Structure formats: structure tokens, C-alpha cells
Structure 1
């Protein structure tokens, strides 16, 4: 009697191979990230009513009445209306250990409130699936490798880190470093530019926290959810904005954004190469 030939044993799965549910989290993230990239590059006219309602609520949270809204067609067009608004040096004085006497400017209050909000959202992201799996022997405290998302998960990189790179930093490359920062630089020295926010180009941090809640990886307190939702709606409805005590200067979204796709496998998905605002201003995006 001839013995049956033994089949070779199937290779054991890698110890660090990501569980299916973790991989599914990333697959669900991709369309949300794409949705936010589209919002950040949008050239639709601003939804002025929605943007003004959001900012009115932000003012009310800081005990200010509804401001007068002054709409302009580009960040450059906003400059003549920003005289007297606090710049970064003024903000630094108000957040120092010994702030000036009196009532802080509304921009300072908004910045402080936003800092508290982001800390609260970070603290709420405590789902076990975000945590790192056990490190392999000998890995010590070496930094996590920077890899394409699915490869990173299979290499044992925690989902939190993959989402940080694949959503917040990726969109930051496309929308902040690729668009908002060059436009800001074209307006003059950063330290002297009044404090304002980027509207649609604030999407990187907003998208990251939106992914966490939509995937069920974070549950925000009701009060934080309400505040966060105003920042979500602002990013979906308007361009840049500068808050003053009585007047809030609002910028329409661009008329044109021309962006190149980046090679497959990269975290960032688009590289803007041209922006043109509704008054014809077209600042350079690359040196």
C-alpha cells in the first residue's frame, strides 16, 4: 500500500496582517476623503445663507451679536477691509500667561474655542480599533513606517496613525500646503496678516474628525457635536473668512481650481497648479 503524499502546509498568515474589520474601516474612509477633497477644491458659488448662519452661531457662543457680513471675490479683495483686525502677534499676547486687560478680540475667542473643540474631539476618539496591535519583538520604539494605507495596516501600523496620514495629512498636502498657504503668502507677511480661517480649505482637520464619527470610531458630546457641525458646514459652504467685532469679511470660493492627480499609492490625491478667483486674481501656487 502506497502512503498518500502529504500536501505542503499552507504558509501561516503574517502575525501583523490587519483584521478584516480594520481593512474595511479604510475602504469606507476612501469615499469620505474624496468627498472632502472635492469640497476643498470646489468652485461652486458660496452658500452665503448657510455660511452666515454658522458664523452667527459662532459669534453667539462667544457672547457677540450677529455681525454685518461683507462679501468679496478673493482674499486679495478682502485686504482693504481688514484694517484694525488682530494679527498673529496680537493673538499671541492674548493666549500668553499674562494677557492684556480688557475683552479679547472675537478672533482670539474663536481660536481658543476651536482649540478646545479639537482637543475634545481627539479625546473622544477612543475606539479600540484605533489602537495599535502588539509590537513585534525587537521593534522597540521605532517610528511607524510611512506606507500606503493598506500596506501600513498589514505592517501593524495602528488605524489611528493610518487615518492621520491618509486623511488629515493627505488633505493637508493638497489643500493647505498646495493651495491655502501659497495664497496666504501672496497676500504678504504671515505675521502681519489678520487672523482668519480658510473655510473650504479647513477641510483636512475637519475631514479627519468627520471620518472618525461616520465610521463609529468616535462619539462626540452633544455640545461638541453642535459646534463641530458648524465648522463642517462652513467648510462645505464658503471660502476664507475674517471675523471682526462688528463686520465679518467673507470670501467667495474660487472661480477655477486646476489640479493634477498624483501617482497611485500616494496619500495625497491632487496637486493644485492654478487657482483663479472671481475678480480675476490668480496667485502663484509654486515658487
Structure 2
């Protein structure tokens, strides 16, 4: 599918990050959550970001804000952004309508998951259109791109311990590509179009980024990213072979 390929190219890009667009978009996110424009710090690799990550919350820190006994003070900005993004994605999902089926719809029992099928078989079987996009765009992109950022995150964790909450920029393309595929096919207008457009622009322009209350760390994209096809994958999936950043820091999955 053309849309999936386009967003996979975004996720694999080694072109320089567009810091101008990234900073403008992140500043808008800060404003949405009641924070002023941060100081932006640019670094050549996730490893080079470590000195600037002290005090930023980890996933365990943010989980404490989801319980009944919340910590004192204000929720960290990363928590506000994560919650806002979750609400946006839920709202986008609620907006989506299934187009009229061209074939007799495939049925399933209540509580049963849709079968995972090759593209041609999925179409012939009457699998719902949005489920085909979920399998062929969102899930396929997620498997490919998570196969890049998870090894990098694991390598970073060996150096820093618990990695603070941040975003993967270009490698967050799975959900953005999924919504974009729906917009291009059956639903061109979204109620929260502006917010989706911001996240889409950020995904196209940024490398990894970590938001703090007053400082946001922006990581340049890698300069080398080698992948190979996943054998027998139905949706042109790839896996990481080697990734290297401008300062020489590199990761080779084991």
C-alpha cells in the first residue's frame, strides 16, 4: 500500500531533521498544556541526550499519576502530553465510520478478535475495511518501526538505566500513517484535524525528543540506518540491521 510505504520511508529517513518545524510544533503542544515555549537543546544522538534528561519522569513515575493517590504538585508535562495524545487518538477512532462493504461481511463471535489474514485473502473474505487498514498499515508499521526504536532504547537503557518518557518522532509513524490512510480513502475530514496535522508534521520533521517543563531535547536523525526485509511478511515489513548517529554512537541488534 502506497500510504504505508510513504510512512515507512518517514520512519527510516536519514535526512536531517527539520528543527524549525519541530520546534514550532512542539511549542504549540507546550502551549496547549499551559506551558511557555521551552529552551530547545539539539543533540546528535539519543546517547548524547543523557546529560540533559536528569529529573524527567519515567513511565513508572507517570503511572503514579493514574492511581488514586497522586503525587503532590502538578503532573509532569510528559504526562499531560501523553494523556492529550491518548484522548486525541480515542477521539479520532470514534470519528471513523466503516464504508459500505463490497462483499458479504465477515462475521465473528462477540469478544473474538478479527483473523489476521494476507491482503488478498482479507479482501476476499469480507474483513472490514478499517480492520484491513489496521493490519496492513498500523500494525505492520508498528512492527517495523518498533524493531528500530526498541533496540536503540534498550541500548540507551544500559547507559542511563530507566529511560525517561519521550517520543520517537519519525518512528511514531504507525498510528499517524494509519489515520492518514483512512483520510485518503474514506474519511477526508476529522473533527480534530488541527491536532492530528500537528502530530503528522512532527512525525515528518523530528527525530527523538524529550519534553521537560522548561527544556526540550531534540535528537538529530540517524545518519546510517540499514534494514532487511522480514521473510514471508505480508506487508513489506523490515527489521533493523544497524543504526548510527552523527556522533558515532551506533546500535547493532543482537
TM-score, structure 2 normalization: 0.92
1:242 aligns with 2:242: no
Return the alpha-carbon distance in structure 2 between the equivalents of residues 262 and 60 of structure 1. 41
1:200 aligns with 2:173: no
C-alpha distance 100-128 of structure 1, shift in aligned 2 (>3 A): same
Structure 1 segments, 4+ long, off by >6 Å, are none
Question: Match of 1:160?
Answer: 130
Q: Which digits, 9 at most, give the CA deviation of each residue in 1:84-111, with x for residues without a partner?
A: 1111111001122332232111111101
Q: Is the 8 A contact 2:98 2:128 kept in 1?
A: no
Question: Match of 1:115?
Answer: 86
1:275 aligns with 2:243: yes
Q: 1:63 aligns with which of 10, 34, 39?
A: 34
C-alpha distance 91-148 of structure 1, shift in aligned 2 (>3 A): same
1:227 aligns with 2:198: no
Q: Which digits, 9 at most, give the CA deviation of each residue in 1:33-82, with x for residues without a partner?
A: 11100000000001010000000000000010000000001111111110
Return the alpha-carbon distance in structure 1 between the equivalents of residues 35 and 104 of structure 2. 47
Q: CA RMSD in A?
A: 2.1
Question: Match of 1:147?
Answer: 117
Question: Match of 1:14?
Answer: none
Return the alpha-carbon distance in structure 1 between the equivalents of residues 181 and 201 of structure 2. 15
Greater gyration radius: 1
Q: 1:90 aligns with which of 39, 61, 64?
A: 61
Q: Is the 8 A contact 2:39 2:215 kept in 1?
A: yes
Q: 2:154 aligns with which of 185, 188, 193?
A: 185
Return the alpha-carbon distance in structure 1 between the equivalents of residues 54 and 102 of structure 2. 47
Return the alpha-carbon distance in structure 2 between the equivalents of residues 130 and 257 of structure 1. 40
- 1:220 Cα deviation (Å)? 1.3
C-alpha distance 161-120 of structure 1, shift in aligned 2 (>3 A): same
User: Which secondary structure does the structure 2 equivalent of 1:90 belong to?
Assistant: helix
Q: Which digits, 9 at most, give the CA deviation of each residue in 1:193-235, with x for residues without a partner?
A: 11100000000111001111121336311xx211111111111
Question: Match of 2:140?
Answer: 170
| Number of residues of Structure 1 aligned to a counterpart in Structure 2 | 252
C-alpha distance 162-193 of structure 1, shift in aligned 2 (>3 A): same
Matches within 5 A, 1:94-109: 94-109=65-80
